[in-house]
Amino acid sequence: MARLLKVDAAIAAFDAGDVVAIPTDTVYGFAAEVSHPAAVAKLFALKDRPATVPVPVLVDSVDQIAYLGVEWNEYASRLGRAFWPGALTIVVPVPHDLAVLVGSSTDTVGFRIPDDDLIRRVIAVLGPLAVSSANLHGQPACRSAYEVLDQFRSRPELAGVIDGGERSGDVSAVVDLTTNQWRVVREGAITTADIARVLA
């Protein structure tokens, strides 16, 4: 049964191949180590998320993205310098194996460095995390640890949740850099105008 976890216990759970709910700078998310494919599969099962709907990856640095074999182009570098850590997900081409792991059929994945010191410290220890909002697929995201426990305490896929207090509920903006023409897939805390100013 899922429970509140201290950071050390959460890190141990991640390393054991479990899914843990974490506070991000926007909402709570279900997270699994990218290095544990079975844990990522459990994340999809926990959310009742179709395996063909990819999840993004949270990192604590661009170096972690490079370690995954991802080429980080000039547009991505500009956006990262301007808005990271922060609520912007940058979608870029990735190696096929990584894309399959997180449910992408197009060899692309979204990356983000969250503006939350606690979670960045966790990611610095563990490495990249596959993360999706803490909710059943298509439902509103949880904004507190207790909301996560109320809805998912009895789900066997969830080991526990790190309590980081109430979250804002804002969504991250998503920009697609997988072609020669950048495209905003979803507006969020960072506007299209903000992104355009950086990429102009």
What CATH number does the domain containing 8 carry?
Answer: 3.90.870.10
- Give the model's pLDDT for residue 185: 96
The residues pairing with 109 across neighbouring beta strands, listed in sequence order, are 92
Beta carbons of 109 and 91 less than 8 angstroms apart: yes
Give 92-147 pLDDT, tens digit per residue.
Answer: 999 999 999 999 999 999 999 999 999 999 999 999 999 999 999 889 999 999 99
Structural domains of the chain, count: 1
Average pLDDT, the chain: 96
Whole-number Å distance between alpha carbons of 76 and 65: 11
Q: Which residues contact 7 (CB under 8 A, 6 or more apart)?
A: 118, 121, 122, 162
pTM of the model: 0.96
Which residues form the domain of 86? 3-199
- Give the model's pLDDT for residue 109: 98
Beta carbons of 76 and 138 less than 8 angstroms apart: no
- Give the model's pLDDT for residue 49: 93
Whole-number Å distance between alpha carbons of 131 and 128: 9
